[in-house]
Amino acid sequence: MSEITFPDGTPGSRVRLRFTSLVLYVLSIGGALFSLYFITLLTRRMSVEEYGVWVMITRYASYFIIPSAIYSYWLSRNISRGQNTSRTGLYSSIIMGITAIPFYIVLIQIISSEFEQPLLPLIISTGFVFFDYISNSLSSISGGHSPQIVGYASFAFKVGQAISGWLFVGLWSLGLTGGVIAALIGRIMMTCLYLIMNYKLLKQSIFRFTIFVSWLKTSWLPLFISIVSMICTFDVIVVRALYGNEVPIAFYGVATSIMGVVLFASAVTSSLYPKILSKGNLDDLREAIWLTLFLTMPVICIILFYAQPLCAVFGLKYVSVAAPLKLFAIASFFQLLASLAGFSYVGLEKADENVLLSRTLLRSAIFKGTVMSLFVNIIYITLVVAISLLISNVEVFVSLWGIISAVSYALSFVFYILLLKRDFGQPFPFKILARDLAVFILPMVPAFLPFMLFRIEIVEGFYQMFQNLFVPVILSFILYFASLYVIDKKFRITLRDAFRMLTSHS
């Protein structure tokens, strides 16, 4: 197995955590603008039911890429430790992607008949499965040695999807079918960029059949992890089957699309994970907590203040999603905390560092953490089943869905910090979290002023609604960061270092 040489000699430490995270975040924000355009194009050109079908199609494809965990899970851990198994991972993804296609085609024909969903866009989504297999391997490779590549590839996907969406949905009015074609083109662009940016690493690697066999022999663990993670995504299937239509799924889709801006802060965990793997300690966790709050709290602030006009951007039929959106924003905060604790716990595990043995992995933090997640996800799905049977009002239903999500992520966070303390003797830095959280909550007070002073008119037109929002939102951001600059020394240092870094490269 070839070794990877990093500039500073330390696997996974190519750049400092703070600036890697910020690069990923900036790329995510840039991509969000294109993603916003694409999603609003879909919500405005499709009926609520059609958009609900779109959300479900993305889930169907995600269910079929579960086997990609066989190689993608070990790839990132190998690459972070300097073991170049990139070509083995890529070839594995191609083989599995081709194998999965005929099974997917059979499934979507059954789904089309059962749920009365159009067959053509479902058939086209077959391409999602193949390219997601490949991009999953390339994403794991990139995450192990240069996480910012994931940001570049994601940006390419969103740009390609948005431009194609303008053509197929906006100009040619192909509706749901056009949306699926646009998403497929975006995936092709993302895969191409991944291949280009990882070309040198792939060229230095060779396909090792023994590595592939070792992944297959221990495939039960990554498959178990992937299936457990996938359980919570069956929520839309449960809702469609028990609630009886796609309307709450469409509302959920709008809420999670906006909530996705909060989750861009997961760039921090993407940068933190390889550092924990390579260094074997949590020295960078405190920095990661500050960065996560820095990238999260201003966005949550805007969502809480401007929830109704933000939903109106997607169309007046989604204005009632405002209340559930606030709850999903809180859920996203707990999701990020759970990710920090979870990646810290799993990253400290060294059972797989030299050789993969099932008996060792059964006693590992990787397995124990997954069992805990299984327990939480079963609770989540059980509660979703309950509200699907008991609640008929769609706004109340989606609001309860948001509360259930928040409680589930909060439980995961608590369980991970307990495991972290028990198995590795590492306490989660609650004092740091509480202090930083207080610092980032305080600027919300002045940021609230523009919302109070400006009357934001709710209108049907996308561009007019966007213009109505622009000035007060920008002013809220300015007041937030100006206040943060005054009260937080670390923020001032970060700005100074970023300015020096930019001027040194200019």
Residue 464 lies in a domain: no
Q: Are 416 and 342 in contact (CB under 8 A)?
A: yes
DSSP sequence for 246-307: SHHHHHHHHHHHHHTTGGGGGHHHHHHHHHHHHH-S-TTHHHHHHHHHHHHHHHHHHHHHSH
**Is 488 strand, coil or helix?**
coil
Q: What is the mean pLDDT of residues 57-81?
A: 87
Answer yes or no: do 131 and 207 share one domain: yes
Q: Are 376 and 411 in contact (CB under 8 A)?
A: yes
What pLDDT, on a 0 to 100 scale, did the predictor assign at position 124?
95
Q: What is the mean pLDDT of residues 250-263?
A: 88
Q: What is the mean pLDDT of residues 328-348?
A: 94
Final residue belonging to a domain, choices 434, 462, 483? 434
Tokens of 168: 């197929």
DSSP tally for the chain: helices H, then strands E: 25, 2
Answer yes or no: do 324 and 260 share one domain: yes
Residue 175 lies in a domain: yes
DSSP sequence for 57-79: HHHHHHHHTGGGHHHHHHHHHHH
Q: What is the mean pLDDT of residues 339-366?
A: 85
Task: Return the amino acid letter for 156.
Answer: A
Residue 498 lies in a domain: no
Answer yes or no: do 236 and 206 share one domain: no
Answer yes or no: do 155 and 195 share one domain: yes
Q: Rounded to whole angstroms, how far apart are CA atoms 425 and 140?
A: 29
Q: Are 480 and 298 in contact (CB under 8 A)?
A: yes
Phi-psi sector, 392: left (phi>0), alpha (psi -120 to 50), beta = alpha
As a whole-number percent, the residues of the chain with pLDDT over 70 amount to 93
Q: What is the mean pLDDT of residues 46-70?
A: 90
pLDDT at 501 over 80: no
Q: What is the mean pLDDT of residues 259-264?
A: 81
What pLDDT, on a 0 to 100 scale, did the predictor assign at position 9?
40
Residue 441 lies in a domain: no
As a whole-number percent, the residues of the chain with pLDDT over 90 amount to 59
Q: What is the mean pLDDT of residues 42-66?
A: 90
Answer yes or no: do 148 and 276 share one domain: no
What is the rounded (10 degree) CA torsion for 167, 169, 170, 172? 70
Find tokens 């100074």 and name the residue. Answer: 496
Answer yes or no: do 211 and 249 share one domain: no
Residue 1 lies in a domain: no
pLDDT at 336 over 90: yes
Q: What is the mean pLDDT of residues 479-491?
A: 94
Over residues 378-412, the pLDDT tens digits come to: 999 999 999 999 999 999 999 999 999 999 999 99
For residue 8, name the pLDDT band (cuts at 50, 70, 90).
very low
pLDDT at 210 over 70: yes
Final residue belonging to a domain, choices 434, 458, 473? 434
What pLDDT, on a 0 to 100 scale, did the predictor assign at position 17?
63
Q: What is the mean pLDDT of residues 54-59?
A: 90
What pLDDT, on a 0 to 100 scale, did the predictor assign at position 281?
87
Q: Are 254 and 318 in contact (CB under 8 A)?
A: yes
Q: Rounded to whole angstroms, how far apart are CA atoms 60 and 451?
A: 40
Answer yes or no: do 211 and 346 share one domain: no
Q: Are 346 and 422 in contact (CB under 8 A)?
A: no
Answer yes or no: do 111 and 245 share one domain: no
Answer yes or no: do 213 and 244 share one domain: no
For residue 7, name the pLDDT band (cuts at 50, 70, 90).
very low
What pLDDT, on a 0 to 100 scale, did the predictor assign at position 19?
65
Quote the number of domains for the chain: 2
What pLDDT, on a 0 to 100 scale, did the predictor assign at position 59?
87
pLDDT at 185 over 70: yes
pLDDT at 448 over 60: yes
Q: What is the mean pLDDT of residues 289-316?
A: 93
Answer yes or no: do 108 and 166 share one domain: yes
Q: Domain residues for 36?
A: 9-217
Backbone φ, ψ for residue 85 (5° rounding): -105, 25
Q: What is the mean pLDDT of residues 473-487?
A: 96
Burial class (CB in 10 A: 0-12, 13-18, 19+), 475: middle
Q: Who contacts 342 (Cβ-Cβ below 8 Å, separation ≥6)?
A: 369, 412, 416
Residue 243 lies in a domain: yes
Answer yes or no: do 347 and 199 share one domain: no
Q: Which of 7-16, 286-295, 310-319, 399-408 has the highest mean pLDDT?
A: 399-408
Q: Rounded to whole angstroms, how far apart are CA atoms 259 and 332?
A: 7
| pTM attached to this predicted model | 0.79
Answer yes or no: do 281 and 388 share one domain: yes
From the centroid of its chain, how far is CA 300?
16
What pLDDT, on a 0 to 100 scale, did the predictor assign at position 11?
39
Long-range contacts of 499-505 (CB under 8 A, 24+ apart): 501/19
Residue 451 lies in a domain: no
Q: Which of 213-217, 226-230, 298-302 has the highest mean pLDDT?
A: 298-302
For residue 15, name the pLDDT band (cuts at 50, 70, 90).
very low
Final residue belonging to a domain, choices 184, 217, 250? 217
pLDDT at 268 over 90: no
pLDDT at 467 over 50: yes
CA distances from 420 to 157, 280, 417, 427 (A): 36, 13, 5, 7
- Give me the helix-helix angle, 69-80 and 126-145, nearest 10°: 20
Q: What is the mean pLDDT of residues 83-109?
A: 93
Pick from 198, 229, 278: nearest CA to 14? 278
From the centroid of its chain, how far is CA 406?
16
Residue 481 lies in a domain: no
